[in-house]
Structures are given as C-alpha cells and as structure tokens.
Amino acid sequence: MKLLIATRNRGKVIEIKELLQGLPCEIIDESAFPNIPDIEETGETFTENALIKGRYYHSQTGLLTVADDSGLVVDALAGAPGVYSARYAGERASDQERIRKLLKELEGAPWEKRTARFVCAVALVGESGLEEIFTGTCEGMILAAPRGTGGFGYDPVFEYPPLGKTFAELSRQEKSAVSHRGRALAGLRSFLEQAHLLNGESC
C-alpha cells in the first residue's frame, strides 16, 4: 500500500515522512512519477492550493494523496509573502534570496512589529470523493539576520519565542513538535489511524 506525498521539496519530504513514520504503508513522493508535469498553484489560500495539488496527483496516480501548502505570514507586510512564500523573490530564487528580500522589506521595523506566523494546510484526497483538510499554525518573530543552519525556507529568520531559537536552530524532533506542519500532520495522522484508510483499498 502506498501513500503519495505530493511534493518534490526534499525538506518537506523528510519532515513529513518522519511525522508519519510507523503508519502501515509505503510513503512515496513526486520523484516516483517524474513524467507527471507540475501543476500551477492558482489558489488564493493555503487550503485551495493544497486541494489543487492533492486532487491533481490523486487523479494522475490513483493513490491516496497528501498535499500541503504552507508559508510565512508577516503582519507588518499585510500578510505577505503568504501563499507566494516560495515565489517571493521569483520562481527560481533560492532560500537565501527569499530571506534577503524579506529582511529588506522589514528593514527598520521595530521588534514589536516583526510578528509573524507559519501556516500550513494539508489536504488528503482519495477515492469516492474523499477530501479532508488539516491545518496548523505557529506564532513567532522575524529576526533582523539569519541564525542557525538547519531546516529550510525561512527557518533561519523565524524565531519561536517559547524556546528562544529559530526553526533553523531546532532539532528536527523539536521543530516537528511545535511547527505548523507538525501540528497539521498530527491531525492527518490521527485521521488516518482512526479511519483505517491504510488498511483498505484506498491506499
């Protein structure tokens, strides 16, 4: 039995596999289907984009599919970069380039105005019209300079105040326990275990 994670982002794949470890199925990602073209994420919300990806990859493969859309919401930037987090500095921009753009936009902003949150929406799409959404958020602050070498994306500038560390300074286990994606996937995992989807024909 297979569960498809609809992403090629290696950081996400590693996190998701760890959070779903122990479920009775083989977890695979988009790299198993190199000939399936990417789909454009045209939604205006994280939930819409997660459903777009989940529906598409389920229709292409017939597999029970998990798709997530997540991003950084910064209050001082009226919610930007939001659903455009991965494309904030251009389609081909690196994590470092996206961080540089974010910090430039926030240049001069006082600490109390640097509030932000990571948001994650996870869609589960399967046979017989199955569609479920699980969400998670994590509140934090945007630093003036990166700190830490772990994680990916905006992790080096996102400080989680209860621990006084950026996401890039946390171990994977620490991050998974408090992160937006960890919280959303905890809901997904609970649903899969209770619904017994992985023991039937849907996976």
Overall average pLDDT of the 27-34 stretch = 93
List alpha helices for the chain, DSSP H.
10-19, 46-61, 95-105, 172-178, 180-195
Q: How confident is the model at residue 202 (pLDDT cuts 50, 70, 90)?
A: very low
pTM of the model: 0.90
Q: Report yes or no: 72 and 93 within 8 Å, Cβ to Cβ.
A: no
Q: What is the mean pLDDT of the chain?
A: 93
List, for residues 137-192, the tens digit of each pLDDT value: 999 999 999 999 998 999 999 999 999 999 999 998 899 999 999 999 999 999 99
- Delimit the domains of the chain by residue range: 2-199
Active-site positions read 69
Q: How crowded is residue 46: how many other Cβ atoms within 10 Å of its Cβ?
A: 26
Top CATH class, 2-199 = alpha beta
List, for residues 16-26, the tens digit of each pLDDT value: 888 898 888 89
Query: In the chain, helix, strand, coil percent, each to 5?
Result: 40, 25, 35
List, for residues 56-75, the tens digit of each pLDDT value: 999 999 999 999 999 999 99
Looking at this protein, which amino acid is placed at residue 101? Answer: K
**Token pair in block for residue 85:** 């987090």
Report pLDDT for 201.
40
**DSSP per-residue string spanning 36-64:** SPP-----SSHHHHHHHHHHHHHHHH-SE
